[in-house]
Amino acid sequence: MRDLADAIESMEQLATVWRAMVLDRDPRADVRDLPGIAVRWADSRFAFWNCVTLTEAGADAGVLKQRLHEAAAVMRSKTRPGFLWVFEALLDDGARAALAAAAERAGLRYAFPGTGMAGDLLPLPEPAHPELAFVRVDSDELLQAYADINARAYGFPLEDGRDGLAGSAWWKRGVFADLGLRDGVPVTCAATVEAEGRLFVVLVATDPAWERRGYGEAVTRKALYEGGRATGLTRATLHATVAGAPVYPRIGFEPNSPIGFYALAGLPGASDSSGPSGLSG
């Protein structure tokens, strides 16, 4: 049952943090909690702020089929594309076996995989990297740089990334967001935010021109260090892409649930099925 409890924690962290993120973008955002489905949809050009996730623990194949059709209907009602997140450890064995075919019948296509992770790993020592200087995001200029790194890493137009973050007062004051600068140029970024007694790691990214230098791990450690120092929290959670999944266990995270990301069939999704260093972590 520990695996199920960890998966529930991972899903609930998404629902909690994404509610705040999408309301930050638009106070009128759709943040409904429907039976078995959490809607967190800003209708933003930044597709990750447009999210639906399944919330029932132990769902069987019949419930899964119904929820997938309901989730797809919510997605079709929106102007901008987004993603359905499926925490596979929440499903029973029959539902997991039926997931691919049921998603296809609901008009959804598999976009890319992820992994929920968590760990009792704080406090961390103050991090350092010989090629980076760290700076807290506390101005519109630095926040735009943060958005641009994410857009490049995920293959989005710069305007889409900026639509997700630009002008946010919360990201400059309530989120522990850090940039890693190489020779004064922002090349990597990570952030943490307090959520229900945990630090949630969000939007870790490295400019594709500067990958595989340990920058993503270093800036994630910095965001965790600053968030932990400010809040005193000891547990952290995140959702990793394939590229980020090997990085986070080195910090102390342990995987809990595989996550499948689904988009509406016929609509664009992420341009790279492996993703960058991390999605929300």
Q: What is the pLDDT of residue 266?
A: 82
**Domains, the chain, with CATH or none:** 2-115+259-264 (no CATH), 133-255 (3.40.630.30)
Helices and strands, counts by H and E, the chain = 7, 11
- The amino acid present at 219, given as its one-letter code, is V
DSSP secondary structure code for residue 262 in this structure: E
Confidence bin at 8 (pLDDT 50/70/90): very high
* d(C-alpha 234, C-alpha 162), whole Å: 31
Averaged pLDDT, 226-252: 96
| Of 31-40, 52-61, 197-206, 260-269, minimum mean pLDDT range | 260-269
Mean of pLDDT values over 22-44: 97
Digit-coded pLDDT (tens) for 139-176: 999 999 999 999 999 999 999 999 999 999 999 999 99
Whether 101 contacts 64, CB under 8 Å:
no
Q: Distance (Å, rounded) from C-alpha 222 to C-alpha 265?
A: 38
Q: What average pLDDT score do residues 62-82 get? A: 98
- pLDDT at residue 274, as a whole number: 42
Q: pTM score > 0.85 for this model? A: yes
